[in-house]
Amino acid sequence: TATHTILMAQLVIDQEKKGLFWFMVPLRDPQTGELYPGITAGQLGAKVGRNGLDNGFIQFSNVTIPRFNMLSRWARINANGEFEDPPHAAISYATLVGERIMILQFIGNLTSIAETIVSRYSAVRRQGKNNEQIIEYQTYYTGLAKYISIVFATLFSFKRTKKDLDETFNNLESPQAMMQVLMKIPEIHATSSLLKTWLGWWGVDAIEFCRRGLGGHAYSQYNEIGPIRGDFDVNTVGGGDNTVLAQQSAKYLLDLYKKGGPVPEAYKYLTDRDVILSEVKLSANVVDDILDHTVQLKALKWISIILLEEVQGLLDSRSNSHSAWNDTMTEIVEMSKPHCCVYILNTFDMNITQISDPNLRNVMNDLRSLFALTQIENMMHQFSLNGYIDKRQSMLIHEAIIILSNKVKVNAVSIMDSFLYPDWLLMSPLGRYDGDVYPNYLEHIKGQPGFTYTAPYWEEHVAQLTGKL
């Protein structure tokens, strides 16, 4: 039913490409609804999830629009057909950054719903020799706790980046602040790309853990986590493919590191290279050392700079610039991860300092440390290869993760209940607030078409067999 579209397209003048800009293009006759000549549009058909949204395609063939249909606040074609450049190339993709940041909220919302369902179910479901709650099993509660930390990492990151974006765009109305704003947009683009990439990938893992955490009910459409997974997965490719976004963020990091000069606050530690790398080994001898927030942050800053230099060395050693990037792509993507963790830890700290209640602050500190140590353990091969963490320290890190997971386990249901999701929103009989799971699950199934019946083909086909028994 759309009568117009705003699309991004390459502007070409006299066979010279000027870059990507936005254009308004009429699609249909508003009276008849018929597509205009040269325009083909249609539905993309069935999807894995998000079926409440229409997804389609548009194809243009020799479609003409007037020059004033180009969105021309920053760049324009004047009446003489001459192109007037925007003040900064970042202007063209600035609006895409907002979409990427809103995806962070979507990631946080869906993972928190899935974690709410599975945390409640894990406190109700019992099995084993002593008929224990399944949340008491170590393999269960370590995963549950880890992904609860991902939920808060995501929502805190959304809050911070959204605030940065709003403040930046508000200044677009001020000519005096224009250049400062334009310099800020590449930073927000790089940071939002980084967060969307890694939090999106971790979110997929979180939701899949929750689905499997329902045991035999994991197959059921009615657990609601399967549909959540269907709705979620587009976040790893929509709004920018994660692998591509990780490379864009990595390029921004490499450029900052190589060029020197002014560095945004979130990337300031890159200028402290000599100080950070002077500590050649993790300063930790006991579990309490591992739980120190400063020790965790130092470790991630250290590996971030180490991987930056390793990637730069690989790129420099390969003569052909295009093939060098492709031949180093795996390392480039992985190099972006520790900086993402540094950003998230700083974001945790910003939010924790604003919490006045000491008990709540302790819970958030545990989640913050659990996030940090889980990521350090996930990158252990890189730390070990570079001699920063030895075997004994690696064992201490694992021990600390178990201790923290145990502490989070005790509060897991309460933490997720703090989101105040009502049962009608969760739509999962397995994640009911009152814990009355199985009777309601059975009633839910009974209400579905074809719950129980005698097969219509019984008399003709089955009775011939059973009648002889």
> 337-386, pLDDT tens digit by residue?
999 999 999 999 999 999 999 999 999 999 999 999 999 999 999 999 99
DSSP 213-242: TTGGGGG-GGGSHHHHHHHHGGGGTTTS-H
Confidence of residue 298 (pLDDT cuts 50, 70, 90): very high
DSSP 3: S
**39-43 and 16-26 as β-strands: parallel, antiparallel, unpaired?**
unpaired
Give the pLDDT score at 253. Answer: 95
CA distances from 219 to 36, 103, 149, 160, 435 (A): 46, 27, 26, 37, 20
The DSSP line for 32-79 is T-PBPTTEEEEE----SS-TTS--EEEEESS----GGGB--SSSEE-T
pLDDT of residue 174: 60
CB atoms within 10 A of CB 395: 11
Q: What is the pLDDT of residue 175?
A: 60
pLDDT of residue 192: 94
Residue of 432, 48, 10, 31 lying closest to 235 (CA atoms):
48
Q: Which two tokens stand for residue 262?
A: 């002014």
CA geometry: angle 248, 196, 269, nearest 5 deg: 65
Give the residue among 274, 270, 181, 200 at the shortest CA–CA distance from 242: 200
Q: Is 274 helix (H, G, I), strand (E, B) or coil?
A: helix
Contact 81, 97 (CB under 8 A): no
The three-state secondary structure class of 309 is helix
Counting residues of the chain whose pLDDT is more than 90, the rounded percentage is 71
pTM tops 0.75, yes or no: yes
* pLDDT value of residue 276: 96
Q: Which of 378, 99, 64, 337 is nearest to 198 (CA)?
A: 337
CA–CA separation, 155 and 344 (whole Å): 10
Residue type, 144: L
Stronger pLDDT, 162 or 449, i.e. the higher one: 162
Angle at CA of residue 52, ends 43 and 417, nearest 5°: 155
Q: What is the pLDDT of residues 312-348, one digit of tens each?
A: 999 999 877 779 999 999 999 999 999 999 999 999 9
pLDDT 10s digits, 383-432: 999 999 999 999 999 999 999 999 999 999 999 999 999 999 999 999 99
User: Poorest-confidence range of 32-36, 184-188, 331-335, 346-350?
Assistant: 184-188
pLDDT at 261 over 80: no
* Amino acid occupying residue 287: V
| Beta-bridge partner residues of 132 | 127
Residue 173: the pLDDT is: 64
